[in-house]
Structure 1
């Protein structure tokens, strides 16, 4: 997500994890900022992760589900729910009656009474998951996300629609791009998110084919940009040449 300020305007070159087609207006107004994305995490290693590794179990579990049938839920390492928000999310996922994979920190678990037992046949709750591999799995239908930029790029790069639940900083701007500009996601109407709204938004995101079709078109543009001869590929190549000279 490109944000103009004094620091960015004072440099000769600034590379960023974005793609020209995601933010053409921003790049036009700041030509010194060079998009070389998508820069996606290599999920083959657990370096930098301190949570329990459920990688293989997550992927094996996803393998048992049909295409576009699973809700993926993850809010990064910093976002914290209060008890009321957490329980609305839990109930919202439950009443969708769909399979879900939910990444939940062990210090932020306030499940409603009996929740784990009621959803045990279709819900998987883990401490950590290989997000890039999860989002690229064909069974994933949508991503319930805090809209951090890395998560946003990963989701868009895999053609996955997003239900936005931002918390701070650029996440609200990213939400605007996702919902209003790219049109690959939905947002909540106000801060008091209810389980009913969660269920309705997830259902709409999955049942309305326009969201998926638009997300796949955007994914194709990103793939073209990253290939040899593409915009991001050439930008990185030219940047390396500039450094050498």
Structure 2
């Protein structure tokens, strides 16, 4: 089985001269024997990219969208959070306690995933932009990146909290979150769409640029943070992006669009939805295969 990754991710490798030959080889290798796969299951949902899904299913008839691959408790709530899910309840964690005290839609959540990294100059601009925005913010900075934060920057204050890790789904689902500053990795984007959170796009590499384009121009669920001549998002630009999503009329429209995608994602995995049908089709095929093998 193949975890779907858009072929458009290769665009970055063709246009950026950096030492990523190993990663490029890994991406290309995912498709090396794709025609031999019995099924190709994609972590997306049909309504999100109908034209792309239709084209790909013509090319690979056994390709199906089965996403978003997020526990039911965050989507349609058909299955409650119980022992069947390996989803811990982080209610006592510092970030949840901190969020619980904040007004609805007031917090900027910032995370660049487990691989993407900001250089020191961009980290300083991020820190100053968040502080100057006047908004509450929850910023995830890995241990290895903490030294890039300015020494005079308060990592825990009334307005902001810097942590080394958090449960992203728990955070995005929290009513206090107003927007998400993201590197536009596919998992992060799909989670934001599925939970109705508008995004500020700061792509770093690979398919993230394509994802950012989709966010802004196709799904209209976020805005793109502008870069200067040094490819850095400056503090004033970031401050304006936060204001636009959190305070402006355009921000309200973007939030409304994000909520529409949330509803479509929930419908896709609910009984009778596109992803539910595809998963059922796949599971039925396994039962049929088992029955065939037993008979033979």
Q: TM-score, normalised by structure 2?
A: 0.75
Residue from 23, 39, 48 that aligns with 2:49: 23
SS in 1 for 2:150: coil
Structure 1 stretch displaced more, 133-142 or 20-29 = 20-29
Query: Structure 1 segments of 4 or more deviating over 6 A?
Result: none
Aligned-pair Cα RMSD in Å? 2.1
Q: Which has the larger Rg?
A: 2
Contact conserved, 1:142 with 1:206, CA < 8 A, in 2? yes
- The residue correspondences of 1:93-108 to structure 2 (distance < 5 A) are 93-108=130-145
2:284 corresponds to? 241
Contact conserved, 2:107 with 2:138, CA < 8 A, in 1? yes
Q: Quick one: distance in 2 between partners of 1:43 and 1:100?
A: 27
Q: Quick one: distance in 2 between partners of 1:9 and 1:156?
A: 31
Q: Quick one: distance in 1 between partners of 2:177 and 2:153?
A: 22
Residue from 132, 145, 152 that aligns with 1:114: 152
Q: TM-score, normalised by structure 1?
A: 0.90
Contact conserved, 1:55 with 1:129, CA < 8 A, in 2? no
SS in 1 for 2:181: strand
Contact conserved, 2:106 with 2:176, CA < 8 A, in 1? yes
| Residues 91, 55 of structure 1: alpha-carbon distance in 2 compared, 3 angstrom cutoff | farther
1:193 corresponds to? 233
Residue from 198, 202, 219 that aligns with 2:242: 202
SS in 2 for 1:196: helix
Corresponding position: 1:165 with 2:202: yes
- The residue correspondences of 1:1-245 to structure 2 (distance < 5 A) are 3-4=6-7, 7-8=33-34, 11-31=37-57, 32-40=62-70, 44-45=87-88, 56-109=93-146, 110-116=148-154, 120-190=157-227, 191-207=231-247, 208-245=251-288
SS in 1 for 2:144: coil
Aligned residues: 238
Measured after TM superposition, the shift of residue 12 of structure 1 is: 4.1
More helix by share: 2
Q: Quick one: distance in 1 between partners of 2:267 and 2:98?
A: 31
Q: Quick one: distance in 1 between partners of 2:91 and 2:205?
A: 28
2:11 corresponds to? none
| Residues 113, 56 of structure 1: alpha-carbon distance in 2 compared, 3 angstrom cutoff | closer
Contact conserved, 2:178 with 2:197, CA < 8 A, in 1? yes
Gaps of 5+ in 1: 47-52
Q: Quick one: distance in 2 between partners of 1:229 and 1:188?
A: 38
SS in 2 for 1:100: strand
Gaps of 5+ in 2: 8-30, 72-84, 289-296
Q: Output one character per residue of 1:77-101: Cα deviation in whole Å (capped at 9) or x when no partner.
A: 1112111010000001011011100
Q: Output one character per residue of 1:28-61: Cα deviation in whole Å (capped at 9) or x when no partner.
A: 1011321111112667249xxxxxx996211111
